[in-house]
Chain A
Amino acid sequence: MLIFEHARPGRRNYSQAPTTTASTEGIPDQFLRKKQPLLPEVSEMDTVRHYTRLSQKNFSIDTEFYPLGSCTMKYNPRACNALAMLPQFLSRHPLAPEDTGQGFLACMYDLQEILKDVTGMAGISLAPMAGAQGELIGVMMIRAYHESRDDYERTEIIVPDAAHGTNPATAVMCGFKVVEIATDKEGNVDLNALKAAVGPKTAGLMLTNPSTLGVFEENVTEMSRIVHEAGGLLYYDGANLNAVLGKVKPGDMGFDVIHINLHKTFSTPHGGGGPGSAPVGVAKRLLPFLPVPFVSSENGTYSWVTEKERPQSIGRLSAHMGNAGVLLRAYIYVRLLGRDGMNRVAEFATLNANYLMAELKKAGFEIAFPTRRASHEFIVTLKDIKDNTGVTAMNLAKRLLDKGFHAPTTYFPILVPECLLIEPAETESKQTLDAFVTAMKEILAEIKEQPDLVKNAPHTMPLRKLDDVKAARELDLCWKPDA
């Protein structure tokens, strides 16, 4: 039932809105709305009950193991939420004077310094509001750098074929042409393809390392040399930073620009698809181009750095300063973990991934890159299973839901057929991983014995398989009272 179907004309809440009406005589009639909007007329209890029940139809980290590859679904500590929601932080207006926000600004400044340490970069801006915006800003800085040197010939961005879809989409939004390069059999970028792709038109290379194939790009130093010698810059997509936290710093790998997905590595909540937050880091030569605002400190007083101090900045990418509340949660998280805790993140994320990979291999699943170490994630391919039984990766994913596990990422990266990208994250126990392996073994047996059971999954969810084709053909995006 939709919230609108609980509504009755004239029903309303009495305590949440002003108790009286007020005069609108300052607004001429021509500006006034004639027909009231379709908002539900329901009681507070109706609302609370309806949305509580809806929440119960979701899988979440708080209720299920959620091994969604490349998304880093780890536990979101409750303290981060509680302390970021202290009323003074919530009530602070973004344009309030700096001296009324020194406590908040201290947290932002500290976070910038911590992120410099984590990434090995020379400067950080906290402004970007999501990974894709961090990428956009990163690529904009690459463009600004070349143009500041009167080099207008660099019109191409190189992207490996295993990259997130946001990489090529971002490059195009920045006015670049995308050159895709292939991956070799071991899951590394094909160095010969890279050598053939670079030249005087190369503005930069966007790379995720460890890659979305769940392996560490072993030739990264050589790649860095090739791109830099051609005059291009290196962009680090920090989607998988969780895997190398405290082991390798992107700055040491030769990267010039980086974004960090705080909703992954720094465990801020995914919230059903946002808000994200993706600070960008830069090497020294890109410092003048950092987006504003960011925080500076002088004699213990914090202030915003703006266009005035940074005339070459690529500018502003949000109405204010980015997703402050997400940044606070990330700051609290890193202070809870501390130096040792941060170093342990990559260790246990990697231990969990390699253990799960080993156990699934023993259970009879085909690993896409069996000779490689898993980073924090790895790929299972169901190509043979599909060829022999017709059961697809999506079928298996849906059957996992029946067994109480969120599905891994399916059909990404695109270059591995029938793939499941599995990322357990460091906060899961061995016992949870073992239960997942048991479920995967059961499904493997079902595929052999009763494949239709798997093909028609899910069976125990509130709904059975949904008709995507109908959704796209007969668009129904809004409820209508008379429909």
Chain B
Amino acid sequence: MPFIPHTQDDIAEMLASIGSDSIETLFDEIPDDLRSGRLNIVPPGLSEMEISRLMMERATRDGFYQNFIGAGAYDHHIPAAVWQITTRGEFYSSYTPYQAEASQGTLQLLYEYQTMMASLTGMDASNASLYDGATALAEAVLMAVRSHRSSRRILMPQTVHPVYKKVVRAIVGNQKIDIVEAPFCEESGRILPESLEKFDDEEFAAIVIPQPNFFGVLEQVNELTDWAHSKKTLAIGVVNPVSLALLTPPGEWGSDGADIAVGEGQPLGIPLSSGGPYFGFMACKNNLIRQIPGRIIGRTNDLDGKQGFVLTLQAREQHIRRSKATSNICTNQGLMVTAATIYMSLLGPDGLRRVAEHSHANTMDLVQQLEKISGVKKVFNSPFFHETALKLPKPVDVVLARMKEKGILAGFDLQTFYPEMSDTLLVCATETKTAADIQNYVTQFEQALK
């Protein structure tokens, strides 16, 4: 019996102890008319060898592509040690560290993670992670509304990841929170601080500031943050964690820094994996710590005064506060954060900076070469991190299909989310792409445009 160790003798002895004559009698409290549960569609079991063959066939069918798609999930090299350590049984098969004395491994790791994320974002504190970047933004919106008290309106630029906006609407939609969209400048691909003047007389709980934004463009975060603070509005930064090795962290934006920083943790050692599991990160300034949702780890002492780690501020959480909790969230993304913490340790500040630099430089290189092709030009005139939009002389779907035949996933069709942006490709080349990869892309691209 797969994964069930009982022998016939064991079963007989156990039933004798219970005083039952069969396992079936143990279900006698279930009313007979409900007992129709036998499974019909689930196929017969496979051996490990058989399921291995099936899965390998399916994986092989999907194959490998050179990936130049970003749009919220990024292809970075993951050191071998990251997942070898992360999938040790002691991390992989443990649970939420409710019994602190028997969970110091996970707890200390999470404390180290919180330290790294707070520093990377320039904030005072970080929680132990949320589901993904999109839900982290939704939680940040709820947190801003809780702490602002007088406004339930959020200013949401159109340069924020469009799916994040959808997720925010879905999650906060039933809580009478108003999401107001702010348009972007078509030349620069970013929010012009002066364009916010029209909102000067309106009250908002928070403005969301993406850096880089969905187009890869760098927003004028200092001006946007100061504008928010001038009207007692919180600034929520949505940031790429790898970019933070290079870019000014949200905690240092403007005169006082953003109030909350969130984002998608996937670039920190998490494989693309068709979209998950990833993790969302959230960090904030000191004055907001008691409003932060999710698990938080604190350092303390044991009875002998030795340093140790525990879940703390649990009075915010659903298992204590029930209907009055800050969020219904029960878990964090423990295993993903384990990987991210090991990733950040292996890379260190210098290694992570190099990853960011090469991702920027490779995309610059690719774009400069593509711009030499007749009819291809950059859509926006602003600086970007590692991703940017290109206008093509042909429909994007035709080009993508031809590139795919050459084994290249050439980018993302921006019209998917922005109907007015026809023939516009969003492209990203991370540090994983060599000069030869970029050259090959350019050569194939020229062919595809013919």
Contacts and interface: CB of A to CB of B under 8 A. Distances in A.
Contacts of B384: 26
Contact of A325 (B135, B276, B317, B352): B276
Nearest to B80: A16
Interface stretch (B37-45, B178-186, B438-446): B37-45
B276 A318 contact: yes
B101 A458 contact: yes
Given A96-B69, A113-B41, 11 more contacts: A3-B112, A27-B218, A92-B273, A92-B274, A247-B27, A272-B95, A341-B1, A344-B4, A348-B4, A409-B98, A466-B301
B148 interface: no
A237 to B, nearest CB: 12
B46 interface: yes
A335 B43 contact: yes
A319 B132 contact: yes
A159 to B, nearest CB: 8
Contact of B134 (A11, A120, A318): A318
Categorize the interface residue count of chain A. 35 or more
A96 B409 contact: yes
Contacts of B134: 316, 318-319
Nearest to B48: A79
B199 interface: no
A281 interface: no
B174 A104 contact: no
B101 A464 contact: yes
Contacts of A4: 112, 115
Given A41-B350, A319-B72, A372-B29, A117 B39 contact: yes
B421 interface: no
Contacts of A382: none
A389 B81 CA distance: 50
Contacts of A140: 170, 174
B347 to A, nearest CB: 5
Interface in B284-303: 289, 295-303
Nearest to A331: B55
A58 B183 CA distance: 49
Interface string B124-147: 111011011111000000000000
Contacts of A132: 318, 328-331
Nearest to A42: B345
30 contacts: A4-B112, A17-B347, A17-B355, A44-B346, A58-B102, A58-B105, A59-B102, A60-B93, A76-B93, A93-B69, A101-B274, A103-B57, A113-B41, A130-B131, A169-B325, A172-B325, A175-B174, A248-B37, A271-B93, A272-B95, A273-B96, A321-B276, A322-B276, A323-B276, A336-B51, A409-B98, A429-B6, A430-B14, A476-B300, A477-B118
B338 interface: yes
Contacts of A334: 42
B264 A337 contact: no
Contact of B298 (A171, A428, A475): A475
Given A12-B350, A12-B351, A401 B116 contact: no
A462 B353 CA distance: 36
Contacts of B56: 83, 86
Contacts of B351: 12-13, 16-17
B192 to A, nearest CB: 16
A462 B104 contact: yes
A314 interface: yes
A215 B30 CA distance: 10
Interface string B36-74: 111111111111100110111111111111010101110
A275 B23 CA distance: 33
Nearest to B292: A477
B133 A248 contact: no
